Every structure is written in structure tokens, then in C-alpha cells.
Structure 1
């Protein structure tokens, strides 16, 4: 099962647009932020594998050049794969793997019985434009949380973009149904309190799988709890005794998100040697991508042997 979030492009907003909406943005910053603010080297050359030596007898010729090069290439590939596998194992940070695997397969059972069938019906019945509209509304409702996290991270330009998006899409975009702001260059960026904690230097902690919610880390789980409590929209619905609306919002969000990954997850499940480990790796890659806002971190790649090009 999947946690929230979509990869998005980084945002560049013309200064003129920011000035035009600056006053209105500043007014809404305080109003929206208040409810939220309250409540782990390369291998040494001496470890380089030597080309396999053919058994040479007086009557047996040594292998020709092409054969030797092929054997060397295969040896290099095998060692590179071993290095990558070792690095991935070191980076797993999964001390509760036994428990996590049990919860993971429980979640898979829930997904098989409930969520996946619902997502298939949703994708079959709902036309593409309707799915897009629903998704736009859901992400527009998350705009206050995005704004709050932008402010907490000190991302003032991002906060201004989030404010302008919310104002434009909530009005001209008919409550977020139409992404008018996105059509004018104000691209959506997903932000969470987990990302904010990462910006503050809080380590991610060990890997967790949460019942129903799916892959997480200790830091991400804390961030999820903070957002569940501090989301202004959820708090408003709770205070007005419209809890049914909160549950409907969460249910539609889960089904819509699952529908987007139907084919991808089915293919991964069929082709993965270890589906649990694959999902764990992909979750971490996605979270790291969000935290860096799409910028590549060279440290994420494992060290592999450096061979001479001979």
C-alpha cells in the first residue's frame, strides 16, 4: 500500500506574479499557518578481481583475447552487483523486519480484498477528467498543510506559491476542481512534516510498516501524527461534527491514490524477487526525493568497484 505524495517539478515563479498577489498572500499566510503552528568508500584496487585463469597444459592453448575479455567483464559485473546488494543491505535500517513483514503482508491482504478492487472500479467508472478534478480538490484541501510546512522550513518563495495556488484554485478554480494556478506556472509541490523534520536535521530513524497506512520511518510516523492533528481542514470538520466528511475525504484519497498505481504495483509484485524489500527501497527513494525537492543526492548511490578500462 502507498503513502501520500506525487513527484512534481520544482517551481519557478515570475517576480511580477509574486508582487501582484503579494498582499493577499501575506494576509492568508497568518490565517492558515496559525492552526497548524498551535496545536547513513570505493573498494580498494587490491580487491579488484583477477581475470579467471584458464587451466593451461602443454597441449591446451590459452584462451583468445575475446574470451578473456568476456570473462573479465562477467567478473566485474558480478562484483558490482555484490557491492550494490551489500550497500542496500547496510542502508535498510530495518531492525523490526520480522514484525514489519507480518504487517506488510497483512496490509497486502487488506489491499487485495478492499482497496485494489475499489480502485479498479473507480478507474473503470470514473472518466479521466473526473479523476483529475477529484485529485485537484484533494490536493487543494491539503494546501494549508503545504503552506505551514513551507513556512517551518523557511521556504518563503514556496510559501508564497502555495498561498497563491490556494487562493486562485479555491476561487477561479471552483474550489480546486480546476488547477488554474498550475496552468499558469504555479506548480504544486508536496510537503509534509516529515520533510520539515528532515530539513531541521532530525534523522529518519528505523524503518516501519504501519497497519493499513503502509511504509514509513520513525520520523515519518511522527510527522504523520502531527499532521493528522494539525490539519486545519480536518480540525474544522471535527469541530463542526462533520466527521463523515473527513472519513469520506480520506477514503476517496486512498482509492484515488491506489488507482494511479494499479498497473505499476501489479507489475512490481509479479517481477520482484522480494516484494517487501522492493517496496522498502522505493519508499526511501521517494521520501529522499521529496526532501531534496527533486535534486539528485550523489550519496544515495552505492560505492562500486572502480576498474581500469582495459
Structure 2
């Protein structure tokens, strides 16, 4: 039986992602300072980056790929498009991810945000012509970000050690599971397999990567030019961003748990 894009991607991620974590754990761990050196040991624990040697190797690999492939393509893309076009592309690719956000909000007990995601998907997929436009935001339903890593966080799963994955970039032992789970929740995964759907999947993934890279051309250039240690800077920014996303979700929506679920008092 011919393997579809969905099954190839899912099988590849299911094997590759845990494999990368295990390979890093076995091949390149940072040596912790002795516990008697309290200051250094506390700093090591706070960084929570025991795979730093391996992470830095992947960081360098990604920099090479970015320098010679992604950045030039993104610069060319910016040269031949306008900001308005790039905004519409971002709206379109974001709309494809709206069902996944809705399911994650439902799983984490955030009913209001789940409802917002559902309304956004219905409005933008119809009135917004497949998500090219964002009428939902104008009607009072702004985009709200979440993912499976944040859902796991709401269940009390700790962030775990920092990971820097080849191609995918910054992540963590908890957030790494976004990759296979988010794909399962896309509309393409639920649709019957076909050649046209396969081609669409490749095209959508490619344009999303290019459009996202174009959005961060200046910030990334600035960090690479000014930071004493770009790897550490990106690590810090990633963690700050994830903490901010989780805090915003906690502040915005009221949890609703089923009667049979004995959750901790909040």
C-alpha cells in the first residue's frame, strides 16, 4: 500500500523526535559542576540544558542551513511580495491550525478560548475565503495561540530540559510532542488521501516556513550581530515566550472541569 504524505510524516516524526532526544541524552551531555559549588550548581540547574553540547551542534547546523538556504529564500520572498500579501499568507496558514488550537483548548479546560477558535475557523474559512482574510478578528474573535505543549503544561507536565532540534529549532522535552500531535489535528489529516492533497500539504508547509522566516529577518539578524552568545539568547527568548503564552492563557480563561475529575484546589 502506498504511504501517503500524512502517514510518512507521522511515522517519521514518531521515530525521529524521540530518537533525537535519546541520541542527545546519550551522546552529548553537559557535565554538571559539583554540588559543593552551590552557585555554579544552582546556575546549571536553572539553565536546565543538560544536552547543551549536542544542542549547540544542532544550532550550528541550523545556522548553516539558514545562512545558505532559508534566509536567502526569505529575502527574495520579501523582495517580490508586499507586507499585505505576507499578512494574508500568514492568516491562511494560521487558519489551517485553528482546529488544533480548538482541540487543545478543550483538552486543557479553556472553553471560552475553544469557542473562539471554533468561531474563527468557521468565519475565516467561509467569509474569509479559506482564511486568506481574517473577518473573525474584526468581529471580536482575535487569534489566540496555544499548542499541545501548553496543554501538557496545563495538566502539570513539567517543561523538561531544553532541546534544540535540527530544522525545527528551539523546543523542550514537553514541547517536542507538538510536532506529531499538531499535524494530526489539521484539516488535511482528516481528509481522504489524494495526490492533490499531498501537493497542497507540501506547498502549505513550504510557504508557511518561508513566510515565518521572512517575518523574523530583522530580529534574528540583530541577535546574531549583537548577542555575545546567540545560542543562549535564543534559548532565553524561547523560554520567556513559552512562559508568557502559558500565563496569558491562565489569566484569560476560567477552567471548567467535569464533576468526576478531582483536580487540585486552585
- Unmatched 5+ residue regions in structure 2? 1-39, 252-266
1:231 corresponds to:
185
**CA 1:160 to 1:294, structure 2 compared with 1: closer, same or farther past 3 Å?**
closer
Instruction: State the secondary structure of the residue aligned to 2:174.
Output: helix
Distance of 1:238 and 1:293 partners within structure 2: 36
**Cα distance in 1 for residues equivalent to 2:126 and 2:206:** 25
Give the CA deviation at 1:123. Answer: 1.1
RMSD, aligned CA: 2.1
Larger Rg: 1
Q: Which fold has the larger relative contact order, with Cα–Cα distance below 8 Å and residues 6 or more apart in sequence?
A: 1
Q: What residue ranges of structure 1 are gaps of 5+ in the alignment?
A: 1-84, 297-310
- SS of the equivalent of 1:216 reads strand
Matched, 1:220 2:178: no
Instruction: Decide whether the 8 Å contact of 1:194 with 1:224 is kept in 2.
Output: no
Aligned partners of 1:237 and 1:243 also within 8 Å: no
- Contact 1:208/1:217, CA 8 A, preserved across alignment: yes
Partner of 1:197: 152
Tell me how far apart the structure 2 counterparts of residues 123 and 86 of structure 1 sit (CA, whole Å). Answer: 45
Structural mapping, 1:152-301, within 5 Å = 152-228=107-183, 230-236=184-190, 239-241=193-195, 242-293=197-248
- Where does residue 55 of structure 1 map in the other structure? none
8 Å contact kept, 1:145–1:192: yes
> Which residue is equivalent to 2:70?
115
More displaced 10-residue stretch of structure 1: 87-96 or 191-200: 87-96
1:149/1:193 contact within 8 Å kept: yes
Q: Note if 1:91 corresponds to 2:52.
A: no
